[in-house]
Structure 1
Amino acid sequence: MPRGKKSGRAASGDGSIRKKIVKKNGKEYTYWEARYTSGFDPKTGKQKQHSISGKTQAEVAQKLREVTAEIGQGIFQEACKLTVGQWLTAWEQDYLVGIKPRTQEAYRSIIKNHLQPELGAARLDILNAHTIQHFYNGLRKKGLSPKTIKNIHEVFHEALQQAVMIGYLRVNPSEPCALPRVVKKDIKPLDDDAIRRFLEAVQGHRFELLYLVTLFTGLRKGEVLGLAWDRVDFDKGTLLIDRQLQRAKDETGERRYSLVSLKNDRWRRITPADFVMELLRRQRSRQAERRLRAGPAWEGGGLVFTNEAGGHLSHHTVYHNFKLVVASIGMPEIRFHDLRHSFAVASIRSGDDIKTVQGNLGHATAAFTLDVYGHVTEQMKQASAQRMEGYIKRVLDL
């Protein structure tokens, strides 16, 4: 905007309010401007000058009263001049530290593929809930699932919350946004007949012991692949689950495997069935034989389940072989994670209380466990009611 002519006298009150007239394309435009100071620049020692503009003197005076009140109360925050894109870049570089490599990779993918292209050019300090809501609605129209949109929101909300914490924003504009409802997928645990067929199909398979340990402990894939012998206590019959084998991009962009802590560092110690401990003894014997055959070529990483040279197994190899097994018995839809669900359902039906199941699975709360497997307890209640009904009928017939 061209420099304009100053007109009028300063209004009474805090700061200075002036009427300004500018010429543009042969026409005169009038607006009001207030100038105020918010303190001193620690580097130069000079006062920090700010301005507020508006169409009317009353509008500018109201804004000036509000900002000077904030300065007096010590809660004033200078307007942030960053764009959303600039802040996301800074947040990614400086604040995404100490989190797992795969989580970093997921965050960066969301920032690069969704947040930067759509919202990167917007000014951070004037970003509002409606703009963000419109962005979320657009993602839904593009065909993204409610779960994916929820993931995008969680990353964006976290980034904006950090901006609030360091004073770039007063409130988090993503807080009031409405998200599409995520429909929980039905779990598909193996029933007793399917488990028997699965056990027959994996007999003699190279990953037989791995699959059986997973099925009868409920460990996640990364947890069972990251299990080490120093976490197995044969004397006490326990397993310490505190690490997982994870594959993610490193600083160079190359995907590598690494042992990382569990989600939220929530380690657990479980006491599996004696059958599981016997499986692990068999695995230890098999591994000892492989070590002798490999000789100096043995990598010796200390993992329970390894390749022929003692190195870690590939997630893809383990999953691909699993899918071939379940397809061979007519259940191609079964996922590796369904072994975990099968363990949980079997535990509940065997009489384990929810708190015990929660601890064995490593869930954060028993409420989450109930949310996932509540249908199983409902079925058990119905079965219990039917048994009671039969008992009552037998008593009345006496």
Structure 2
Amino acid sequence: MAEMKKHAGVYPAKGARDTTFWIRYRDAAGRQVNEKVGAASEGMTARKAAEARMARLVEVKQRGLKRSEPTAFDAFAAEWVATYPTRKGLKDSTAEDYESIIARHLRPEFGSTRLGVIDTQRVERYVARKQRDGFAPNTIHRHLNVLGLIFKSAVRQSLVQANPVSDAERPKVPDWQPRILTAAEIGATARAFTELAEDATGDEREWIEQARTVFVVAVGAWLRRGEVLGLRWRDVDLIDGVLHVRQTVTRGREETPKSRAGRRPFPLDPKLADELWQHRRRTRFQGDDERVFCHPQTGGVLDHKRYTKTLRLALTRARVENPESIRPFHDAGRHSGVTNAAAAGVPPMALKTLAGHADFSTTQRYIHVAGELFRDDAALAGARLWGSVTENCYGKDAEPVAAVTESRD
């Protein structure tokens, strides 16, 4: 191999596996600067390093470039989280998540350490420590995502030469294995809600009847928790049979859905339309701007913790295994609804659109879980979940959907 040609102010550092290139120059204040410009494995050569050095000298002369003072991680992270979410137009809930990760995890770990000192090995030690502390792989991935964004900004501001998170090994995320309720379990749980309501009186009966409708709509319309909480009567067109997802409630605040795909119409089959009409007849909060599912006395945001307790009573009564392990709005709602729809033959692109998935890879996970071939008939989803779509789980005295529609005209 030919000897590397020497260039003034360029210093290659040969390691066991790679060669990194450094340049040396003086800034506008006359201070010596040693700057890493890249590695041979990244395509860097002595000639390219010399060109980079020449560019720096031009910046020194024309712009008065000065060496940046070492910046501590905690100071930079505090400035970043105060400005980045606003510049990117992120939701308040996302900004709060970033603040929490930085305050509770990243700042205690990296503190006043200079940004330039934090390398890939240091990041991987952080990962190992979190794994020993019992943090789930998905949680650690979220931490690294935020840390990576912080260093991406630092690279852009020339405070560091490379993002140490980019090459860090991440913990393997286990295969997605949600607890999906079968069609039989969904039907049994809906009937269990009805039985619990029949055994209750007064306000408790009113609450259980609403909780039952929450369950039916969450699983039947594939809604996220925030979408259930954010639903208002103006979003529900019972004449044309369409439910519009327009807002979501996160940490008690109303926001728009987390992606453009999340803002969507969902066609209601006759069963769901009837369930919602029966609920609107019972509730005292029927105005267009009032919440579909709410606190029974005040009309405020639905108490999702109370709903969880009531749902688990119904799951237990329906003899569903391990009800305590079932997440109320994920497993016993959206995930079960989408997966049963996939098994019923709803086409993949219809699944993606109706579920509000921004990325088709998310939809593919449900298809994989369903493990079925797909047929061209979206109406099969309602039939799979509820049996005959004209069957009314409220019992013989409830009005059929056709009669209800006529009474509203």
- In the TM superposition, what are the counterparts of 1:89-108 in structure 2 within 5 Å? 89-97=78-86, 98-108=89-99
- Per the alignment, residue 293 of structure 2 pairs with 305
- Per the alignment, residue 19 of structure 1 pairs with none
- Per the alignment, residue 16 of structure 2 pairs with none
- C-alpha distance in 2 between matches for 1:161 and 1:194: 47
SS in 1 for 2:255: strand
C-alpha contact 2:70 2:116 (8 A) present in aligned 1: yes
Q: TM-score, normalised by structure 2?
A: 0.70
Identity of matched residues, %: 23
C-alpha contact 1:146 1:180 (8 A) present in aligned 2: yes
Moved more, 364-373 or 150-159: 364-373
C-alpha contact 2:27 2:66 (8 A) present in aligned 1: no
Deviations 1:303-354 (A, max 9, x none): 1112222222122222222222213333313221112122112212222111
- Which protein is richer in strand relative to its size? 1
- In the TM superposition, what are the counterparts of 1:163-174 in structure 2 within 5 Å? 163-174=154-165
- Per the alignment, residue 157 of structure 1 pairs with 148
- Per the alignment, residue 32 of structure 2 pairs with 51
C-alpha contact 1:215 1:343 (8 A) present in aligned 2: yes
- Which among 55, 62, 72 is matched to residue 70 of structure 1? 55
- C-alpha distance in 2 between matches for 1:120 and 1:171: 19
Deviations 1:278-302 (A, max 9, x none): 2221222222xx259xxxxxx9952
User: Structure 1 residue 118 and structure 2 residue 109: aligned?
Assistant: yes
Say which one has the larger Rg.
Answer: 1
CA RMSD of aligned residues (A): 3.2
- Per the alignment, residue 216 of structure 1 pairs with 220
User: Structure 1 residue 335 and structure 2 residue 327: aligned?
Assistant: yes
Q: TM-score, normalised by structure 1?
A: 0.72
- Which among 366, 372, 376 is matched to residue 360 of structure 2? 366
What is the CA-CA distance between 1:380 and the residue it aligns to? 4.4
C-alpha contact 2:338 2:366 (8 A) present in aligned 1: no
- Alpha-carbon distance change, 70 to 188 in structure 1, aligned in 2, over 3 angstroms: same
- C-alpha distance in 1 between matches for 2:282 and 2:66: 65
- Which among 229, 236, 245 is matched to residue 240 of structure 2? 236
- Per the alignment, residue 193 of structure 2 pairs with 202
- C-alpha distance in 2 between matches for 1:291 and 1:302: 6
- C-alpha distance in 2 between matches for 1:242 and 1:74: 50
- Per the alignment, residue 31 of structure 1 pairs with none
SS in 2 for 1:96: helix
- Per the alignment, residue 258 of structure 2 pairs with 263
- C-alpha distance in 2 between matches for 1:164 and 1:235: 55
Deviations 1:194-245 (A, max 9, x none): 1221011111323121211112111011101111112122333212112111
Q: How many equivalent pairs are there?
A: 320
- Alpha-carbon distance change, 68 to 344 in structure 1, aligned in 2, over 3 angstroms: closer
**Higher RCO (CA 8 Å, separation ≥ 6 residues):** 2
- Alpha-carbon distance change, 286 to 360 in structure 1, aligned in 2, over 3 angstroms: same
C-alpha contact 2:148 2:166 (8 A) present in aligned 1: yes
- Alpha-carbon distance change, 186 to 240 in structure 1, aligned in 2, over 3 angstroms: same
Moved more, 212-221 or 104-113: 104-113
What is the CA-CA distance between 1:183 and the residue it aligns to? 0.1
- C-alpha distance in 1 between matches for 2:270 and 2:239: 11
- In the TM superposition, what are the counterparts of 1:71-90 in structure 2 within 5 Å? 71-72=56-57, 74=59, 78-90=67-79
